[in-house]
Structures are given as structure tokens and as C-alpha cells.
Structure 1
């Protein structure tokens, strides 16, 4: 199978290389900083940004939140079906 990503340089403006399901956790960071989050079921999303700041936002069903995220917090998160979009 041909891999169209094989010779591409990693880019924050390009497509994600992978999409990983997220289980909100107050103690553990994601396996890699996400360039965005995809949320299937809207609600409140509590997270720690790539810069290390605690944030809380309301998101709608089937939303993409285009912000760097290192951790999705269990406390304060009511959204579900959360996936991390990973570049590297």
C-alpha cells in the first residue's frame, strides 16, 4: 500500500497523522500533544492546553476544537466521544 504521508514534512496546518480516543483523566497527559480535539457528543470540555493552562469550554456535537491539548480533565468534562488529532 502506498503511504501518501511517507515523504511529507510534519505540519500543523496539514492533516493529522492519527486520531486517538481520549479517556479524560485528571493526572495523565495524552500520549502526544494533540493539535486538535474532535468531540462526538457536546458538553463541557475541561483541558490543559499545550502551553500548560487550564481551560474549560462548551462544545457542540461533532465539534473540532483547533487548540493544542496536553491533557483532557475528567473533572469538569461532560462531553463524550473525544478523540485527539495527532501530528507526530
Structure 2
């Protein structure tokens, strides 16, 4: 296990992600945890529910970190693929 010189620091939305998961977009299922950002493997639209509940369409470029706090990634309206939620 590598040394973590920042293990005593508190994680937060303005710090680096400490976890990630590949997301299958769904019109019915919310994420189990709010994100600190998203990454996609192919550029496209990602329809999301923001932390405040607003539904918006975001254009995210492939391989880019997109800092955003979302609670759902919708299947309808999403064209990007390989969506990774960062926590």
C-alpha cells in the first residue's frame, strides 16, 4: 500500500476525487452518492440532475474532468458513453 501523506486531511468537493465508478445512465435510479465530477470516454451530452434537483444537459469532452455535483445521470438525453462518476 502506498504512503498517503494527506490521510489526515478531510476530503471535500474542492479536493481530488478519492473514488470512482462506471455509471449506467438510468431514468429511474439515482446515484448512491453525489459526485465531485464526471469523466466520459466519448464526447457527448450528459443529462444530469444537479445537487439542487435541476435537470440540465451538459456537453462533456472525452478524457476531461468535469467538476459537477450530480445525483442522477439520465439515460434519456445522454449521448456520451463510458461515463465515470468521481467521488
TMscore range, shorter length: 0.7 to 0.9
Tell me what 1:6 maps to: 7
Name whichever structure is richer in strand by fraction: 1
TM-score w.r.t. structure 1 length?
A: 0.87
Show CA shifts across 1:21-60 (max 9, x none): 1110011111100011111111111110111100002222
State the aligned residue count.
86
C-alpha root-mean-square deviation of aligned residues, in Å?
Answer: 1.4
Shift in Å at residue 65 of structure 1?
Answer: 1.7
Q: Which runs of 5+ in 2 are unaligned?
A: none
Normalising by structure 2, what TM-score?
Answer: 0.88
Structure 1 unaligned blocks of 5 or more: none
